[in-house]
Structure 1
Amino acid sequence: METPRSFMSENDSTGTPDAEVPKATMSLSSRMYLRFTSEVDPGWADLILLGCFFVAGIVDSVVYNKYTCFVSMQTGNTIFLGLGVSDLPTNSPKHNWVKSLVAISSFSLGAFFFARYHRYLGGLKRWVIMSSFAIQTGLMLITSALISSGIATKGPQHSNNPASTDNGGGYFDWVELCPIALLAFQSAGQIVASRVLKYNSMPTLVLTSLYCDLFSDPNLLTAGLFEDPDRNRRAASAIALFVGALIGGVLSKSSWGYSVALWIATGLKACMVIAWLLWKRKPQDQK
């Protein structure tokens, strides 16, 4: 991976790289430039990825209960899409499968965007990873506002609306596609971040391959508590997503409703942006 490019200090006429210049002698703008263009240390970044699993659990539980599709787990959406084009299940709105198609398409576009965003601007550069999570937060913020304002919360309960299907499947409001697209697009940023940070055992969104790798681990039951980090990360990831889904479900059933659950998830994603700002810098001797 390319290391951050050195630059000359404003007060340095000897050609000494700025990393070797005492920070006390550097201007504020030089120190800020150095901080934001340096790479973050991926060590302990799995803690942030655990937070991503938790956020994904909240978001998917809310979206599934509200819109009967997923925005993170595209395997489920693919099954829904395959059934939907055959007009199954029979009690679903006729074009309900479009939600899954939009989610898959938006997620794919998100993966395309975020992967190239990191690749071309610098995968672990602080400003790049901060802005990546800021984009995700912004999309969640817009979605939360849409749902809180009632613009995208009509939902399937309006079965008497003329747009209802004849098979009793309920009402499908096309405005629902907007929050689905926004949340699916930002979800891709999480899994791309896990790849950039080299935590391939923590995809932040899906658990099928994670469960397989966890229970296929030859040291699953024999390694000590801290002797198998990947096992621990996988187990903690599954728990984090489950707890997030549980909390999302509880909040959705409560008087607070779906919007509060999404606002909590949005706030947690915003905290990750701040965490990257304060995160330890990658040691200069590491490539």
Structure 2
Amino acid sequence: MDTPQSIPDKDVTVTDLPTSTIPWSTRTMARFTAEIDPRWADTILVACFFVSGIVDSVVFSTYTCFVSMQTGNTIFAGLGVSDLPSDVPKHTWVKSLVAILAFCLGAFFFSRYHRYLGALKRWVVLSSFLIQTMFMVITCILISTGVVPKTKKLTIGQTGRGSFAWVELCPIALLAFQSAGQIVASRILKYNSMPTVVLTSLYCDLMSDPHLLTAGLFEDPDRNRRAVSAVALFIGATIGGALIKTDVGFGGALWIATGVKGLIVLAWLLWRQKKPQGQ
């Protein structure tokens, strides 16, 4: 008489089976297609604030525009209509306009990249930050090899405003595009209080917090996130400014920021995955 065979449960998934019985390729596929756990992902966003601080400080010091904070760029572009500031090369406002357009294009791209491929899937989040990192690497190479020169600012008593090398628009566009990926990530991870590229709304929300001065040290997570984020961006800007004045220079500071972004990619690779509800 044949021994009756058990019928496999149709609801059994790869994660329910013993690890030793699952092929390595299947386990790898399951890991990369699983959603990451957004808990503690605010630490990653703090690192993004730090990166923004370094990048914007060195870009503004070198090219007189921002690549992350688009409010400042909008003001610069508006001043350009009146041909101001008068102590910078003509048409410098074009840099701000290019940064705004590149940032908007980046936000359009990264938001749909996450939306259509799976917002929190590990491979999607990881590849999103990998794309950002690669854009920064390309920028660093352009700077380090001298393909993109540094803008020469006017000195006291110097006449004639001259112009700037239009190739400067390339690194500005690349950096602005990738910076949009950070703020999109903050939305995907549901940390709207940490936009990673701007502090104006963050300062407002921090000061508006009804428990700003009354909550205990660990009783108001949003307050703590906002405060730490502002400090991280300030520290990044301070370090970026300090590095520009040393032999490390603009290119070296960007390489450091790129290295931090690369560590973020590695962090997503090792990040724990989201557990099913009820576990």
- TM range, normalised to the smaller chain? over 0.9
Q: CA deviation at 1:167?
A: 6.2
Map of 1:154 onto structure 2: 150
1:237-280 superposed Cα distances (whole Å, 9 cap, x missing partner) = 00000000000000001111111100000000000010000001
The one-letter code sitting in structure 1 at the alignment partner of 2:134 is G
Q: CA deviation at 1:24?
A: 1.6
Map of 1:137 onto structure 2: 133
Unaligned residue ranges in structure 1 (runs of 5+):
1-11, 161-165
Partner SS state of residue 243, structure 1: helix
Percent identity between the two aligned chains: 67
Q: CA deviation at 1:154?
A: 3.3
Q: CA deviation at 1:84?
A: 0.5
Map of 1:183 onto structure 2: 175
The one-letter code sitting in structure 2 at the alignment partner of 1:253 is K
Residues 157-236 of structure 1: pairs in structure 2 closer than 5 A: 157=153, 168-236=160-228
Among candidates 52, 55, 60, match of residue 56 of structure 1:
52
The one-letter code sitting in structure 2 at the alignment partner of 1:257 is G
Partner Cα distance (1:195, 1:33) in 2: 26
Among candidates 253, 261, 266, match of residue 261 of structure 1:
253
Question: Contact conserved, 1:90 with 1:167, CA < 8 A, in 2?
Answer: no
Partner Cα distance (1:57, 1:170) in 2: 29
Larger radius of gyration between Structure 1 and Structure 2: 2
Among candidates 66, 72, 78, match of residue 74 of structure 2:
78
Question: Contact conserved, 1:91 with 1:168, CA < 8 A, in 2?
Answer: no
Partner Cα distance (1:94, 1:64) in 2: 16
Partner SS state of residue 32, structure 1: helix
Q: CA deviation at 1:155?
A: 1.5
1:45-90 superposed Cα distances (whole Å, 9 cap, x missing partner) = 0000000000000000010011000000000000000001210112
Q: In structure 2, do the counterparts of structure 1 residues 167 and 121 end up closer, same or farther at CA, with 3 Å as the change threshold? A: farther
Q: CA deviation at 1:13?
A: 6.3
Partner SS state of residue 226, structure 1: coil
Question: Contact conserved, 2:149 with 2:165, CA < 8 A, in 1?
Answer: no
Partner Cα distance (2:237, 2:167) in 1: 24
How large is the Cα RMSD of the aligned pairs?
1.8
Is residue 98 from structure 1 mapped to residue 94 from structure 2 by the alignment?
Answer: yes
Is residue 20 from structure 1 mapped to residue 16 from structure 2 by the alignment?
Answer: yes
Partner Cα distance (1:63, 1:146) in 2: 14
Q: CA deviation at 1:153?
A: 2.3
The one-letter code sitting in structure 2 at the alignment partner of 1:227 is E
Q: CA deviation at 1:152?
A: 0.9
Partner Cα distance (1:84, 1:168) in 2: 17
1:207-234 superposed Cα distances (whole Å, 9 cap, x missing partner) = 0000000001010000000000000000
The one-letter code sitting in structure 1 at the alignment partner of 2:52 is A
Partner Cα distance (1:89, 1:155) in 2: 15
Partner Cα distance (2:216, 2:167) in 1: 51
1:186-207 superposed Cα distances (whole Å, 9 cap, x missing partner) = 0000000000000000000100
Partner Cα distance (1:76, 1:167) in 2: 27
Partner Cα distance (1:136, 1:125) in 2: 17
Is residue 279 from structure 1 mapped to residue 264 from structure 2 by the alignment?
Answer: no
Is residue 41 from structure 1 mapped to residue 33 from structure 2 by the alignment?
Answer: no
TM-score using structure 1 length: 0.91
Question: Contact conserved, 1:77 with 1:100, CA < 8 A, in 2?
Answer: yes
Residues 98-117 of structure 1: pairs in structure 2 closer than 5 A: 98-117=94-113
TM-score using structure 2 length: 0.93
Question: Contact conserved, 2:62 with 2:150, CA < 8 A, in 1?
Answer: no
1:28-56 superposed Cα distances (whole Å, 9 cap, x missing partner) = 01000110000000000000000000000
Map of 1:3 onto structure 2: none
